Structure 1
Amino acid sequence: MSAREAVIDRPHPLLLDALTSAGFDTTAARFTPLRSGTDSLAFAATTRDGDELVVKIRRAGSRSRYPTAAWASARMREAGIPAARGLWYSREACVETRCPGRPIEAEPPQPQDLDAAAGAGEVLRRLHTVEVSSFGQLDGHGIGQHSTIQGWFLALPTRRTPSLVGLDLPGLLNHTHLILEAGADRLPATAPKLLHGDWVGRHLFTDGRHITGVVDLESARGGDPLAELADWSLREPAPMTEALLAGYFDGPLPAESLLPLVLFRLRIAVSLLYFHASCDDPDMVRLRAAQIQADLDDLDHGHLTAVPRVAPDSHSSGRRRP
């Protein structure tokens, strides 16, 4: 999340109200737009006293997930994760600290980005020591939507199946659903751990040597840590995934984790495909379809890989997220 250069001349009243509610003086406060997500408009704020903050405003019609972010921030910081600290929130807005450093999103990745990805793997392993009580998207009290890993895993999108010239998406998705239903019982019976829910390079800040910040915590959920690794691998270039896995594990990926990892990749790729279709983004739909087909083929032939055979290259928009 990096600030654009333009300073807003007339800040939205909600920005000023949020800063005031958080206890900051809004006199001469400066706001610059940040890259915004699906649910929020985000702004960097600098107060007259030099406080460096981030203020988010909920988009009309979107879910308010600021209580979730505040709860997750507190748990992460207790575990030694340099997460952005939630200072105040309401249904419509939130205020949090601004993390130092820059996002890990160089294109193509540079050696320092690969080092940062390895460091991100070490931080992620620490995050995944935090236990939660249930699976799925967490509420403001840390309670998920599902009591079992199978219930969470099989809670797939119910959107209309998209169509795209040259692709049999209905056939591909029906086949994938059958594989996922059959594979749900092959998932490890692990207790749910705290997942960031949107662990990609742009949400991780580095000073070139260490991870200095973890941002955008609204998607925090309870789940199997392998799902977080699978999500990263679908959305980052292959060298970044190799680096993350090297930082996360003391050695190679454990053999018993390979099948669950691939099953989580399939499940997440299906969700991403539906999202990109809803955004009318055919290039990304084709990428997700290719990723799904590659993993189905590998499952069929018994040649599974920790790093997907089809990964977004450094110039694709594969890092986009619902």
Structure 2
Amino acid sequence: MSAPDVVVDCPHPLLLDALTEAGFDATGARFTPLRSGTDSLPFAATTRSHDELVVKVRRAGSRSRYASAAWASTRMRAAGIPAARILWHSIEACVETRCQGRPIEAEPLQPQDLDAATRAGEVLRRLHSIEVSSFGQLDGHGVGQHSTIQGWFLALPSRRTPRPDDPDLTRLLNRARFTLEAGACRLPQAAPKLLHGDWVGRHLFTDDRHITGVVDLESVRGGDPLTELAGWSLREPALMTEALLTGYFDGPFPAESLLPLILFRLRIAVSLLHFHASCDDQGMVRLRATQIQADLDDLDHGHLTAVPRIAPDPHTPGRRRP
């Protein structure tokens, strides 16, 4: 895993303790801050014995999901998926192996990223061969929050409008909610599969020949594999989505899967919009609203496509965000 060239003295009191609990000599360990996530503060760590690790510390007030990541890592690695190996975890921290290579997130988009996205589709198909018992976010025993896909699908964000002063956004979200509630009965009834939960380019590492690492497993869940494809398509450029689908499917995208794919995409976009609004990220709120509008219009007109009409711009720096 690549890391910025900013080495700092131990910046968090739990880092040295986590390394020690994981069985490493923490004396003289060097730490490099990595890009923070919603729930964790991650650091690349190099020990005096040259062990290359990642240490994560839970953000104050966030949920601890390290047990879920450890459970999923074991299952993924048993299936031949190059997931980061969780070496030790507690409620507050986690130590895992550091994946080699670089994340698939060149800006602007490079040809090798498209090749890597195709290989990522092949790895994702292997991941989705793993069955789980339930839907929604998984706990440390691999048990989800919902017994049915409809239970997860209809667990929508609050009806409270993120921007009460914006009547257009209120109408859009009400229209989306109505469409989702009406479409819940059209979802596939297959057994839930293991999903990464945040399958985007920055969480996949490549050496430009293979996928060398799958990281950030804290969001693992059970669900329909189409959910994962829908989430990628909302957050990656259209060419990256086309490449992922090429690797995932042996042929063209199945026509019978188009409607559920778009319903999943709409469901995820609504959740993401609420998240961006909670962070006061108005640029991303506008993007999600535009994506929701486009998918609703396409559903009304029967124009169903696997690649959304509105996708992040491959030439815009910082395009890949939650």
Q: TM-score, normalised by structure 1?
A: 0.97
Does residue 112 of structure 1 match 2:83? Answer: no
Contact 1:3 1:35 in 2 (8 A): no
Contact 2:10 2:30 in 1 (8 A): no
For 1:209 and 1:164, the matched residues in 2 are separated by 49
For 1:66 and 1:18, the matched residues in 2 are separated by 13
For 1:318 and 1:151, the matched residues in 2 are separated by 32
Does residue 319 of structure 1 match 2:320? Answer: yes
Contact 1:197 1:220 in 2 (8 A): yes
Does residue 53 of structure 1 match 2:60? Answer: no
- Residue in 2 that maps onto 1:262: 262
Letter in 2 for 1:178: F
Letter in 1 for 2:298: D
Correspondence list, 1:86-235, <5 A: 86-158=86-158, 160-163=160-163, 168-235=168-235
- Note closer, same or farther for the CA distance 1:244–1:218 as it changes in structure 2 (3 Å cut): same
Does residue 15 of structure 1 match 2:22? Answer: no
For 1:318 and 1:192, the matched residues in 2 are separated by 31
For 2:258 and 2:129, the matched residues in 1 are separated by 20
- 2:285 match: secondary structure: helix
Aligned-pair distance for 1:158? 1.6
Letter in 1 for 2:220: A
User: Over aligned residue pairs, what C-alpha RMSD do you find?
Assistant: 1.3
For 2:181 and 2:160, the matched residues in 1 are separated by 19
For 2:33 and 2:183, the matched residues in 1 are separated by 43
For 2:125 and 2:319, the matched residues in 1 are separated by 23
- Note closer, same or farther for the CA distance 1:277–1:317 as it changes in structure 2 (3 Å cut): farther
For 1:166 and 1:187, the matched residues in 2 are separated by 31
State the 4+ residue runs in structure 1 displaced beyond 3 angstroms. Answer: 164-167
* CA offset digits 1:89-112 (Å, max 9, x no partner): 000000000000000001121110
Correspondence list, 1:256-295, <5 A: 256-295=256-295
* CA offset digits 1:271-316 (Å, max 9, x no partner): 0000010111111111000000000000000011100000011216
Contact 2:2 2:101 in 1 (8 A): no
For 1:256 and 1:307, the matched residues in 2 are separated by 15
For 2:98 and 2:224, the matched residues in 1 are separated by 29
Contact 2:164 2:170 in 1 (8 A): no
- Note closer, same or farther for the CA distance 1:279–1:201 as it changes in structure 2 (3 Å cut): same
Aligned-pair distance for 1:20? 0.1
For 2:120 and 2:167, the matched residues in 1 are separated by 36
Aligned-pair distance for 1:10? 3.6
- Note closer, same or farther for the CA distance 1:284–1:164 as it changes in structure 2 (3 Å cut): farther
Aligned-pair distance for 1:167? 6.3
- Residue in 1 that maps onto 2:237: 237
- 2:212 match: secondary structure: strand
- Residue in 2 that maps onto 1:29: 29
Contact 1:192 1:223 in 2 (8 A): yes
For 1:316 and 1:108, the matched residues in 2 are separated by 7
Letter in 2 for 1:236: E
- 1:168 match: secondary structure: helix
Letter in 1 for 2:87: L
Identity of aligned residues (%): 81
Aligned-pair distance for 1:11? 3.6
Q: Which moved more, 1:302-311 or 1:150-159?
A: 150-159
Contact 2:233 2:311 in 1 (8 A): yes
- 2:87 match: secondary structure: strand
Q: TM-score, normalised by structure 2?
A: 0.97
Q: Which moved more, 1:107-116 or 1:161-170?
A: 161-170
For 1:104 and 1:81, the matched residues in 2 are separated by 17
